[in-house]
Structures are given as structure tokens and as C-alpha cells.
A and B are shown apart, each in its own frame.
Chain A
Amino acid sequence: MFKKTERQARLILKRIHKNKNPFVFSYGVTPAQKWIVKRKRTEKQFKFFGFMSIALSAMFLGGLMLNIVSNGYTAFTRVQIYVPIEFSKEILDPENTGDRAALSKADYRKLVQNGLLTLFPANMSRTEKFELFALVSKGGYYQLREMVLADPSLVGRRGQLWLPAASNVDMFIKRHSLKSEIGISHYKVSNRQFEMLKELIDKERLRKVFNKTFFLGGDSQEPEQAGILGSFIGSIFTILVCIAVAFPLGVATALYLEEFAKENWLTDLIEININNLAAVPSIIYGLLGLSIYINIIGMPRSSALVGGLVLALLVMPVIVIATRNALRSVPHSVRYAALAMGANPVQVAMHHTFIYALPGIMTGVILSVARALGETSPLLLIGMVAFLTDVPKTITDPATTLPVQVYLWTNNPEFGFVENTAAAIIILLLVLVIINALAAWVRQKFEIKW
């Protein structure tokens, strides 16, 4: 009996939910039922918005990664052209002096151009010749010069050489299908050049190789000659200086505040001060570095030394906070046990608390390295934005860092720099991923759960 009525009631409710009136010609849907439907709809909408906000962030991240990878993956290969070269005496050393100065000034462009002309029929027009010559990068001329200067006995000999293609040709071969001429103007490749390139491919005089220059070169005006080694070394120098200063200072400050300082208004003030320091915009540290390190102390501008010192100020509060948290998680029983065994307060702090907190401290320090590595704006102010073709050798040499290099290349209007920028970002993000993985590993492997 009871079960039967319940079933009937369910049936009625089901029809209400389908917005059908179960009682024909009776009173319709009650306000209470309408209210429930409305509440459920709001609920669904709200949940949807919450989900969408996460989805939007994920989409942005996906778009960012997609953009970087699709722009950057081609920078890891280079297109080269196989050109017959005759190191003719008439061009390189017409007066037969054998002198290095004469050799370094000689017209290497002519060598490349003569070589290119032998690949194609002789009856080319002037413009055609120019288009042909534009296929090879200026880097090719420098390459020949370095070869001759390294081995002057090459003069008078002939051979075949792989020379780098010009930036636009390089991008074109790597990104275009070569099946049709559609879209070739985007790469500033002319129709005649397109045909020449096809011919070179048929003769197997075009190849793609791993881009060594990108990993072993300094910055350059030519996108196909620019590399990240200079800025990478600059980053390493800067980080080394930064950690050498910030690690001992930050850890010592935290140890003192946590283990020795009495709780009074002064320590409260210091704590608020350090928390605030961690939130000061990074560019302010650049102003500080500029006015104190460079103007008052007179350290070398643009150097990794000043950059590292500025970043040390920046990450020190972060290290202090991380260290204090790590020290706080060490239980008091450890301290009491050490005191009971006759250790003095300094011994307790240095031999026991500090050692137990070390994994947590290391995690914090590694993460602050990641932060310092990605920092750009304070370095702009202390002059680490110079155009540098040389790799820095000491910490006082002018240097840039990886993120500054990304900034410099993004500002460069030349088309070919887009792939370099994206590739430099890929390297930067890879380094950051490795550092974060290291921090996670340290935490998992060494951290003590009390």
C-alpha cells in the first residue's frame, strides 16, 4: 500500500521535472517547485563558471606552450648549402704578400659568389645573380675567412663546403612544403629563388643539420648567427654570485631570528619588514643596485657581479622565509634533547636544528634560484642589456642573462629572431623545469616527516 503511493508520487515528481502538469486542469507547478528548479540551475551555472576559469587558465598555458614550441622548434636545425669554393690567389692575396692582415681584409664574398655562379647556367641577368647571392648568409663569408686565417695554406686550393643559408631561406626551407609557390612571399623568397632552391635540392646541395651555432655562439645582428651561449654563461655567473651572497646571509638571518632573537617589538618589526621586502617590486632592487653598487661603490656596469648582487638582495627575503619555515617544522624535543646533553644554544642551533632543517632549506634555496634565473627587470637597470657578441669569461665582464636575451631578441624587428626567441624561451623553461624537479627530488628524498 505504502509502496504503491510512493511510486505514484515519484511518477508525479518526474512529470513535474519535465515541466508537465501531472494533474490536468489542476493548479500547475507550485512556486516552491519553481524555486528548486531555479536553485539547481544557478548551482549548475556557478559550477560551470568555476570550471571554465580553470579551463581558461589551462587554455592560456596551452596556447603559450604551443606558440613557443611551434615558433621555436625550427631553431634547433640549420639549412646549409653545398658550394664549390676556389680559394683563388687573385682574390685573396693578389700581391702575393702572404700577410695575415691582407688575408683578413680580403673579399670572401667574392669567393662564395663565384662558387654559386658555377652551380647555375652562365647567362643569368644581374637581378638573378643578386637573388642567387642572397641565398647564402653573411656568416658564410666569416666562416671562410676564419678557415683561411687558421690555415693560410688553403690559398690557391679548391674544394666544396657546406655554408649556412640566409635567414629567410633557412626559415623557408624548414617551414614551407616546397610543393607550391603559395605563401613564399611571407619568407621574402622570390619566385626565381624558389626555383633555384628546388634545383639545389634536386642536386642534393641543400641539407638540414643540427644548429651548433645556436648553442655555441654569442649574440649577433644576423639571426642565423646568433646563439645563446653568451647569455647562458652570463646567467650561470649571475646565479653563482647571487647564491654565494644570499645563501649564507639569508640562512644566518633566519637562524638568528628563529633560534636566538627574543620576541619583542623589534623582532616583530624585522619580521614585517622581511615579509614586505619579499613583495617589493623587483625593479626597485634595480634602482638600488644602480645607485649603490654602481654609483657609490663604483662596480663595473653591466657585469654579472653587480647583477648577482642585485638578485641576491631580491631572493634573500625569500630564502629567509623558507628557512624560517623549515626551522619551525623541527620539533622542540630535538632542541631540548640537545640542551639536556649539555650543548650550548649555538651548538643546538648549528649541530641539530639546522641539520634537521637542511632539506627544507635546500628546497627553498633551489626554488629561489629558479626565481632569480627568470628575473629580468632589475638587470635592465644595471646595464645588463648590452649587445654582446663575446661570451663573458669572468664575473666582471659585461654580460647578459637568458631572460634578458629573450627580451632583446623579442625587441628585434628582424623576422628570423622570432624562432631564436622562442627557442631561447624553450631552453629557459627547460632549465626551470630541471631546477624545480631537483627541488621536488630533494624534498621527497631528504625531508624528514615528524
Chain B
Amino acid sequence: MRTSDRVIKAFLQLSTVISVLITVLIVLSVFSETMRFFSHVSPFNFFFGLEWSPQTAIRADQAGGSGSFGAVPIFVGTVMIAAIAMAVATPLGLLAAIYLSVYATPRFRNAAKPVLEILAGIPTVVYGYFAVVAFSPLLRAGGDYLGIEVASESALAAGVVMGIMITPFIMSLSEDVISAVPKSLIYGSFAMGATPYETVRNVIIPAAFPGIIGAVLLGISRGIGETMIVVMAAGLSSNLTLNPLEAVTTATVQIVTLLVGDHEFDSPKTLAAFALGFALFIMTFLLNLAAQIIVKRYRQYNV
């Protein structure tokens, strides 16, 4: 090989090393800040404490003045909003995928798919704007009409809008999975006189089940990592509740509120954001890994 070719190959190798290094860097940087946080606050208090009020940390030298960093309300809020989102996105996305692959005429499919692709391409900040300007007030008005009090930053509003955001994602993933179901199985079912619904229920869904679970896991991972919608539409202060009509906060909201603005880098308040980020990273990483393994194994069985 000529020298120039050697240089090119070395550059390619170097780039690969760098892109692997990025993951290592993410883990290391966030992990080291997390460890520094845990030198201020014990992990037990962080993972099991019920009270979250980092803003009370006034002075670092002050005894007991480090605020309280019990992250349970935040995890509950995060999971609740993600659960609401998935309760919207899973049926919508799955039904849409089934309708498009089983019932829809090619003409309808060509008209409907761009709609869902546009939904997938809209920046999340726009969803956040819509949740704040239109959806929350609508929900509040509906609540007033029924005599139910709905908080202006209710978990329900943020969750539903997030669900709509995740819907096209679930749809395209489950459509891939459904189209991978062997045609012989589907035709066999039709030949036995089953209606399309019976085929979907007894053949397509069981055959595509692992893939659908994978899609749902990826959806959950997106839901708990989603930031802009919740920063704009969910609450800022922690609130340990399971009522979707009240305001709750999420890990991503807390990271943003703790880190936006001026801050010194040694206070437990700032480091708490990294601890939350690390927890978030681990959660989403495990979910993605599980989804990938499930999908990969499923593809091997079903060729």
C-alpha cells in the first residue's frame, strides 16, 4: 500500500476509536460526577428518600444545609408520565400499524404514512409548545366542565402529548415486525376461514409478539428520556403522588432546572443533576439493550 493509503486507513481506524471513546467518556464523566455527588449524599438517601428539595442547599459549609435529595418522587413522576405516554402510544401505534399492514388499500397507505412521518419529524419543542398553549388549557377546561380540578401542569397533559409523539415510533417499529411475519402463516390462517381480525389475534400478534415488546421497550426508553415536552408542560417541584391530574416532575426536568443558569460545580445541587442523569442513562441503556436482544433473537427464529 502507498503511504497515502496507509494514512487514510489510520484515519478510519482513529475515527472508530474516537466513536467508541465517546461512550466511555459519557459513562466516565457522568459516573465520576455521580460519585462526587454520593460523597456528599448517601446513595441510600438518594434512591429511597421521599423528599426532594435541592433548592434549600444554601451554603456548602453549613451543617445539614445540603438540602434533601430523595429521588423517589422524581422516579415515580418519570415513570408515571412515561406510563401515560405508553398507554396512549402503544394502542394507537399498534392499531395503526395493523390497520396499515392488514386492511389499508395501497392508496390509503400512501396517504396515511406521510402524516405519521411528519408527526415523527416534528421537533419535540413544538410538541411542548402545543402542550402548553393548547392541550393543557383544553384539559383544564374539560376538567372544569366536569367539576374535576386539573393542575395546569398536569402529568396527564404532558403524558398524552408525549404519547402522540411516540406513536409514529411505535407504529413504524411494529410495522416492520408485522411485515416480518412469514406470509405462509397468514395465508394459512385465511385459508382456514379466519377473518382478518382472527388472523391478527391468533397468528400475527403471537408471531410478532417479541418484536412488539421490543418496540414498546424502546418507546418507554424514549418516554423517560424525553426532555422538552416535560420541561415545558410538566411541573417543576417534586410531588409524590399517583394522581395523573396533579403536577409531577421528572428526572429530565430536574436535570434542566438544576443546571440552567449560573452554578458552581462543587455543590451537591449541581452534582445531583449528574446523579439523575446517570440513573437515566442506566435505565435507558438497559431498556435498549433488552429491546435489541429480544428483537435479534426473534429475527433468528423467524426467517
Which A residues lie at the B interface, using CB under 8 A? 39-40, 42-43, 46-47, 49-54, 56-58, 60-61, 63-64, 67-68, 71, 248-250, 252-253, 255-257, 260-261, 270, 272-277, 279-288, 290-292, 295, 313, 316-317, 320, 344-347, 350, 370, 373-377, 380-381, 383, 385, 403-404, 406-407, 410-411, 418, 421-422, 425, 428-429, 432, 436
Q: Is B1 an interface residue (CB 8 A)?
A: yes
**Cβ contact within 8 Å between B8 and A292:** no
Which B residues lie at the A interface, using CB under 8 A? 1-2, 5-6, 8-9, 11-16, 18-20, 22-23, 25-26, 29-30, 33, 91-93, 95-96, 98-100, 102-103, 112, 115-116, 118-119, 121-126, 128-130, 132-134, 164, 167-168, 195-198, 200, 218, 221-222, 224-228, 231-232, 252, 255-256, 259-260, 265, 273-274, 277, 280-281, 284-285, 288-289, 292
**Cβ contact within 8 Å between A255 and B112:** no
**Cβ contact within 8 Å between B26 and A253:** no
Between A and B, 26 residue pairs with Cβ closer than 8 Å are: A50-B103, A53-B91, A53-B93, A53-B95, A64-B134, A252-B11, A255-B12, A275-B288, A277-B19, A277-B23, A280-B26, A280-B281, A280-B284, A288-B25, A288-B26, A346-B8, A374-B124, A376-B123, A376-B125, A377-B228, A381-B260, A406-B125, A406-B129, A407-B128, A421-B133, A436-B121
**Cβ contact within 8 Å between B19 and A375:** no
- The 7 closest A-B CB pairs, nearest first, are A281-B225, A50-B99, A374-B123, A252-B15, A377-B227, A346-B5, A256-B12
**Cβ contact within 8 Å between A64 and B289:** no
**Cβ contact within 8 Å between A39 and B12:** no
Kindly identify which residue among B116, B123, B280, B289 contacts A281, using a CB–CB cutoff of 8 Å: B280
Q: How far in angstroms is the closest Cβ of chain B from A427?
A: 12
Kindly identify which residue among B26, B103, B221 contacts A279, using a CB–CB cutoff of 8 Å: B221
**Cβ contact within 8 Å between A53 and B99:** yes
**Cβ contact within 8 Å between B23 and A273:** yes
**Cβ contact within 8 Å between A60 and B119:** yes
**Cβ contact within 8 Å between B133 and A67:** yes
Q: Please, which residues of chain A bring their CB within 8 A of the CB of B33? A: 287, 291
**Cβ contact within 8 Å between A276 and B16:** no
**Cβ contact within 8 Å between A425 and B126:** yes
**Cβ contact within 8 Å between B119 and A61:** yes
Q: How far in angstroms is the closest Cβ of chain B from A297?
A: 12
**Cβ contact within 8 Å between B196 and A316:** no
Alpha-carbon gap, A49 to B5, bound state (A): 59
Q: Please, which residues of chain A bring their CB within 8 A of the CB of B221? A: 279, 281
Q: Please, which residues of chain B bring their CB within 8 A of the CB of A272? A: 289, 292
